[in-house]
């Protein structure tokens, strides 16, 4: 493997760090530098790889330009809207993500969030802990029975969610950029049309400018007063203010959210809505799956510097494969 140095803009799991250290690759923790800007000015030309995640925030053109010999950015996660891919591609910098290894985990989690939201499982837990069961029965909940589930974004995770939903005997439909060959579920050309045909809407599509606020007030209105919205995608895909208003006004019934527009800051207005299930972006957060994701980050960097080919390049930079 040719000599290389890798920058870590923010802390990374040992599943990333240990394989890189085993290869003898020098790692530079930017957050440990007393003067990060000075470090970049003096040492930036040594950096040929970056391992990053959403913990760092957005890895934008400004940092990329400070690394004149940068070749590859390995991002932790399937979504890679935290990386300015256009700026990277313009510099012929490879960008990778971690697809596949978290599909089943996120799909399992999504089903759990859906059931917890409909059957009010967190609320029932609090009801019991608060000693209220000795006074009265917990109120009857909504149900999954008889519902039609719409999936916005039928990628690999969306398909894994759909396969699990089939076991519940519910109807399934989807929206995406185009109708997919070989997929038997009904297809709708817009999120609003899908919402009008369903009473549960699951968002599992990439973030970024192209999908920003694809779930807007009109989509939520089409979902209807018995509608359930589940977001395991990115906070940016839903107009959060419109969602809050839809929940307040009973335009929709309830929501289960794992992601937010300004993480980790969750609006007080959402926190004050009693029927909403709110989770701290934990869709893939099992020890098993996060270890697999971290190992894939490391393996992408090792493969790039050893063979000139990344294992999981994002589409925008796949043409850079050696």
Domain holding 163, by residue range, is: 103-278
Q: Is 71 exposed, middle or buried (0-12, 13-18, 19+ CB in 10 A)?
A: buried
Query: Are 145 and 272 in a shared domain?
Result: yes
The CATH code of the domain that includes 238 is: 3.40.50.720
The answer to whether position 283 is within a domain reads: no
Query: Are 95 and 132 in a shared domain?
Result: no
Query: Are 295 and 272 in a shared domain?
Result: no
Count how many domains the chain has.
2
Query: Are 258 and 162 in a shared domain?
Result: yes
pLDDT, position 54: 80
pLDDT, position 59: 94
Query: Are 46 and 23 in a shared domain?
Result: yes
The answer to whether position 174 is within a domain reads: yes
Q: Which residues contact 229 (CB under 8 A, 6 or more apart)?
A: 200, 201, 203, 215, 220, 223, 238, 243, 252, 254, 255, 256
The first and second tokens of residue 287, run together, are 């020890």
Query: Are 68 and 119 in a shared domain?
Result: no
Query: Are 46 and 129 in a shared domain?
Result: no
Q: Annotated catalytic sites, by residue? A: 234, 263, 281
* Cα–Cα dist 161/233, whole Å: 13
The answer to whether position 77 is within a domain reads: yes
The answer to whether position 236 is within a domain reads: yes
The answer to whether position 126 is within a domain reads: yes
pTM for the whole structure: 0.94
- Identify the segments of the chain with pLDDT beneath 50: none
């Amino acid at each position: 493997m040719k000599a290389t140095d890798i920058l870590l803009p923010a802390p990374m799991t040992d599943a990333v760090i240990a394989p890189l250290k085993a290869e003898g690759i020098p790692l530079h923790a930017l957050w440990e530098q007393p003067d990060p800007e000075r470090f970049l000015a003096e040492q930036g030309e040594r950096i040929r790889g970056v391992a990053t995640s959403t913990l760092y925030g957005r890895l934008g053109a400004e940092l990329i330009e400070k690394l004149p010999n940068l070749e590859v950015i390995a991002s932790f996660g399937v979504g890679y809207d935290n990386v300015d891919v256009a700026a990277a591609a313009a510099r012929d910098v490879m960008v990778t993500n971690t697809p596949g290894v978290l599909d089943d985990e996120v799909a399992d989690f999504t089903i759990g969030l859906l059931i917890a939201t409909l059957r009010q499982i967190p609320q029932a837990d609090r009801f019991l802990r608060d000693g209220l069961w000795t006074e009265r029965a917990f109120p009857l909940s909504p149900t999954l029975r008889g519902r039609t589930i719409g999936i916005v974004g039928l990628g690999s995770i969306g398909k894994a969610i759909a396969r699990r939903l089939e076991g519940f005997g519910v109807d399934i439909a989807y929206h995406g950029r185009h109708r997919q060959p070989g997929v038997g579920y009904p297809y709708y050309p817009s999120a609003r049309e899908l919402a009008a045909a369903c009473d549960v809407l699951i968002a599992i599509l990439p973030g970024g400018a192209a999908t920003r606020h694809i779930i807007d007030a009109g989509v939520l209105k089409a979902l209807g007063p018995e509608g359930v919205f589940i977001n395991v995608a990115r906070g940016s895909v839903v107009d959060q203010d419109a969602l809050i208003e839809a929940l307040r006004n009973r335009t929709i019934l309830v929501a289960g959210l794992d992601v937010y527009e300004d993480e980790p800051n969750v609006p007080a207005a959402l926190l004050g809505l009693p029927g909403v299930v709110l989770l701290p972006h934990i869709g893939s957060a099992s020890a098993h799956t996060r270890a697999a994701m971290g190992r894939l980050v490391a393996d992408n960097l090792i493969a790039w510097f050893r063979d000139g080919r990344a294992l999981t390049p994002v589409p925008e930079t796949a043409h850079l494969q050696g």
